[in-house]
């Protein structure tokens, strides 16, 4: 009877664990109806299992099949609609990670009132019966485990993972199943697993996720697994990570409406370049100027129309990347070139050296352009200072220039030299107009978005290049220390601002989170900034590219394949005189920021003194760190108190149980003898000794003495005679017999306990409660 009860408890646990795992892939959640129905099915199966005659069991299963067939025959339409409803709930979830174009099945309006329960009840019944039939021995348990693996983890193919609760229930079910099949101590196994689960929950309470730093080896294993799933096990027709990053830009959904950024490894383009691998190569696509309603939008057309004169000075695309204008203006002007190199602290080769860049092949059919910074490009695809037309051929060849070590020096050079070169003078006048436009429209911050964050990270206005670089480095370091890079930050809750939620609550996200927040923070300091998406080619990928030739300056020309894993979002800021340049704020191992001015100076052996205006905010983290420290110290103290009180209570409980068992505490000596015998069975379970089938009580005691040599001199046969008298005799066990039995069992226990080390003793006493 007791074994049938434990069997049904394990079966019920298995049904609910499988149900929770399946629901993890759907919009549904487990309700009381499912718990009650599964309990009812388990109770019926318990009654069946208690039947002695095999014929009764066969009759029951036959009647069950007939009833099921009758229900399908009479209510086939309702069950069909219910199954469709259930399948649709799965489609809504599993299509999201890769943004698959899977449409739910259509349900007629007349059937809208039919829900998923009929199909789910049938699934629960089928699962319970299958588990019950297989739970006969260790082989059947192995079949259950092997079959539940694909049943519960098929969503990995679609990059969907069950949550903590379903996985925990499933693991507990597996261990419980193995313990039951192997006739281990089931309560002990479940207790140990629940202790582990409880400890994990307490630790998660004390140390919030953003305070946790995952060990490198675990991080690498998880990244490798995710990469394998995306590269080899993801479905066809999936969206790329660039599609995900485009969300929230110019009418493409909202920022934060994707819980996981999918990286499929799909090839996107082949580029050829002779640019040295000294910094990441950024390829721009779309940019955002106005942050509103959790999205980035272009500046309205009426703003551009009202400032048309600014953009009439040069051909289309000039203000998208105007640095090439400077080099064109200085062509043939050796004096001007030398002076620019002197101002900008350029290398001996000079800023005028150009490098080849070609987009050789696009592997996708999507209409998208990608342009590097500091490139010599003029095309009708540009309108004003952004890409406007995305139709047409996406393959092109151009030349690009390396950025200066000191951006501020470029503006100083133009101020000093414009009167000596008519082309530089024309650019000088036109750039001043565009600069006014930039400072007017690319420094806007929505009211209230940064208020709470600025209490923690004060931002002052910057007035020169040095202050700008200091703020950039300070913000990069702050993000690196206090925020977590993750591809699975979850969706931003409804009615929450994307940037506010990231900065003040979640503290985790991927590139779109960091870039969006950084744009607004830089604007708060008076720095013109835009939000940009495209592809960032890592330094190592450039260095590892396949060498296919040389450029005009004998630099190696390399061929590089970009996958969607290089899709990225970043910040670009406006440098007076030079134009837009990228700045990296995402603390990811896959992206290396272009050097700031301070880093370049340090590399050259120079030092710089911090500006007076920027010296004050050095203590920006003290207040919040103190509050967080107090909170965490309080939680740790509370955890220690709970663990201390809990350990004392558990110790007292275990001691009281053993005390009641091994001393004479009851007038019913027969019952206590039988309880003592059950305790002996627990001792033998601990030692791993199992009775052979068809073995009577006396044979079992001799068998124990043969298996456990340390019990050879203990009077086990006399003890078993007392047990037989208590169980089958009509008389009452005397006090003397009870004392003899207690003495025998006490010796058995002491022999085992004496050979244990300190850790084994703790487990023996407080886990196995022996």
Predicted confidence at residue 621, as pLDDT, reads: 47
pTM (2 d.p.): 0.61
Are 550 and 557 contacting, i.e. CB atoms less than 8 angstroms apart?
Answer: yes
Structure tokens at 541: 């990928």
Predicted confidence at residue 245, as pLDDT, reads: 87
Predicted confidence at residue 9, as pLDDT, reads: 82
| Phi then psi dihedrals of residue 523, to 5 deg | -60, -35
Predicted confidence at residue 212, as pLDDT, reads: 43
CA 426, chain centre distance (Å): 52
Predicted confidence at residue 477, as pLDDT, reads: 93
Which residues pair with residue 563 across a beta bridge?
267
Listed in sequence order, the residues at least 6 apart from 43 whose beta carbon sits closer than 8 Å to its beta carbon are: 8
* CA–CA distance, 113 with 172 (Å, rounded to integer): 37
91: closest CA among 107, 75, 111? 107
271: closest CA among 668, 545, 487? 545
Predicted confidence at residue 446, as pLDDT, reads: 94
Got the DSSP string for 57-107?
HHHHHHHHHHHHHHHHHHSHHHHHHHHHHHHHHHHHHHTTTTT--PPPPP-
Helices (H), 233-316: 241-245, 301-306, 308-311
* CA–CA distance, 755 with 603 (Å, rounded to integer): 64
User: Residues of the chain whose pLDDT is less than 70?
Assistant: 1-4, 52, 97-101, 109-114, 159, 180-239, 316, 345-350, 367, 378-380, 388-393, 588-639, 665-667, 693
Predicted confidence at residue 515, as pLDDT, reads: 95
Predicted confidence at residue 289, as pLDDT, reads: 92
366: closest CA among 436, 295, 442, 266? 266
**Beta pairing, strands 267-273 & 354-362:** antiparallel
Are 262 and 241 contacting, i.e. CB atoms less than 8 angstroms apart?
Answer: yes
149: closest CA among 262, 331, 17? 17
User: Would you call 604 helix, strand, or coil by DSSP?
Assistant: coil
Are 456 and 521 contacting, i.e. CB atoms less than 8 angstroms apart?
Answer: no
Predicted confidence at residue 190, as pLDDT, reads: 56
Are 580 and 573 contacting, i.e. CB atoms less than 8 angstroms apart?
Answer: yes
Which residues pair with residue 573 across a beta bridge?
529, 581
For residue 610, give Cα distances in angstroms to 464, 523, 614. 12, 21, 7
């Amino acid at each position: 009877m007791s074994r049938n009860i434990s069997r049904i408890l394990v079966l019920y646990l298995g049904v609910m664990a499988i149900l929770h795992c399946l629901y993890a892939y759907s919009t549904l959640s487990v309700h009381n109806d499912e718990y009650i129905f599964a309990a009812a099915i388990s109770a019926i199966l318990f009654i069946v299992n208690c039947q002695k005659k095999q014929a009764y069991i066969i009759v029951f299963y036959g009647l069950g099949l007939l009833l099921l067939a009758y229900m399908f025959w009479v209510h086939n339409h309702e069950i069909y609609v219910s199954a469709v409803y259930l399948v649709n709930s799965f489609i809504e979830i599993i299509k999201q990670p890769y943004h698959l174009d899977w449409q739910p099945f259509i349900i007629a309006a007349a059937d809208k009132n039919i829900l998923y329960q009929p199909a789910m009840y049938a699934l629960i019944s089928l699962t319970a019966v299958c588990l019950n039939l297989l739970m006969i021995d260790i082989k059947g348990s192995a079949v259950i485990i092997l079959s539940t693996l694909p049943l519960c983890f098929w969503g990995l193919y679609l990059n969907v993972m069950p949550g903590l609760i379903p996985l925990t229930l499933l693991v507990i079910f597996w261990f419980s199943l193995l313990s039951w099949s192997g006739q281990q101590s089931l309560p002990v196994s479940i207790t140990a697993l629940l202790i582990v689960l409880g400890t994990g929950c307490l630790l998660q309470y004390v140390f919030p996720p953003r305070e946790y730093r995952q060990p490198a080896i675990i991080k690498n294993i998880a990244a490798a697994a995710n990469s394998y799933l995306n590269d080899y096990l993801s479905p066809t027709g999936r969206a790329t990570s660039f599609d995900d990053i485009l969300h929230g830009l110019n009418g493409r959904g909202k920022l934060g409406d994707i819980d996981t950024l999918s990286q499929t490894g799909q090839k996107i383009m082949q580029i050829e370049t002779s640019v040295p691998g000294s910094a990441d190569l950024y390829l721009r696509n779309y940019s955002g100027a106005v942050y509103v309603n959790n999205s980035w939008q272009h500046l309205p057309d009426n703003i551009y129309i009202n400032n048309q004169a600014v953009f009439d000075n040069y051909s289309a695309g000039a203000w998208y990347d105007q640095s090439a204008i400077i080099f064109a203006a200085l062509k043939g002007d050796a004096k001007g070139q030398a002076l620019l190199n002197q101002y900008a602290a350029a290398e001996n080769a000079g800023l005028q050296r150009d490098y080849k860049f070609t987009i050789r092949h696009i592997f996708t059919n999507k209409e998208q352009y990608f342009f590097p910074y500091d490139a010599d490009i003029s095309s009708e695809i540009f309108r004003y200072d952004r890409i406007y037309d995305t139709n047409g051929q996406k393959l092109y060849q151009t030349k690009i220039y390396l950025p200066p070590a000191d951006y501020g020096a470029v503006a100083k050079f133009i101020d000093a030299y414009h009167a000596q070169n008519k082309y530089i003078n024309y650019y000088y006048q036109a750039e001043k107009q565009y600069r006014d436009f930039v400072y007017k429209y690319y420094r806007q911050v929505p009211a209230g978005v940064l208020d709470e964050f600025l209490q923690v990270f004060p931002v002052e206005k910057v007035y020169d290049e040095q202050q700008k670089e200091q703020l950039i480095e300070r913000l990069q370091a702050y993000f690196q220390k206090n925020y977590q890079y993750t591809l699975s930050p979850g969706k931003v809750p409804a009615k929450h601002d994307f940037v506010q939620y990231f900065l003040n609550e979640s503290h985790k996200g991927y590139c779109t989170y960091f870039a969006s927040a950084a744009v607004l923070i830089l604007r708060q300091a008076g720095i013109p900034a835009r939000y940009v998406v495209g592809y960032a080619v890592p330094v190592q990928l450039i260095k590892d590219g396949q060498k296919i030739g040389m450029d005009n300056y004998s630099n190696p020309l390399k061929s590089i394949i970009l996958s969607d894993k290089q899709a990225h979002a970043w910040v670009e800021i406006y440098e007076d005189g030079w134009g837009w340049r990228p700045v990296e704020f995402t603390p990811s191992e896959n992206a290396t920021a272009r050097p700031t001015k301070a880093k370049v100076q340090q590399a050259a052996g120079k030092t710089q003194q911090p500006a007076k205006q920027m010296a004050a905010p050095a203590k920006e983290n003290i207040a919040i760190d103190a509050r967080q420290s107090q909170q965490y110290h309080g939680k740790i103290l509370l955890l220690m108190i709970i663990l201390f009180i809990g350990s004392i209570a558990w110790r007292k409980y275990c001691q009281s149980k053993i005390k009641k068992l091994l001393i004479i505490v009851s007038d019913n000596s027969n019952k206590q003898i039988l309880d003592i015998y059950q305790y002996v069975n627990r001792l033998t379970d601990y030692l791993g000794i199992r009775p052979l089938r068809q073995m009577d009580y006396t044979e079992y005691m001799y068998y124990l003495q043969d298996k456990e040599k340390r019990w050879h001199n203990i009077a086990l046969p006399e003890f078993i005679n007392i047990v037989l008298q208590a169980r089958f005799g009509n008389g009452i066990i005397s006090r003397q017999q009870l004392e003899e039995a207690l003495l025998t069992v006490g010796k058995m226990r002491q022999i085992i306990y004496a050979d244990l080390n300190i850790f084994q003793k703790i487990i023996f006493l407080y886990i196995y409660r022996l």
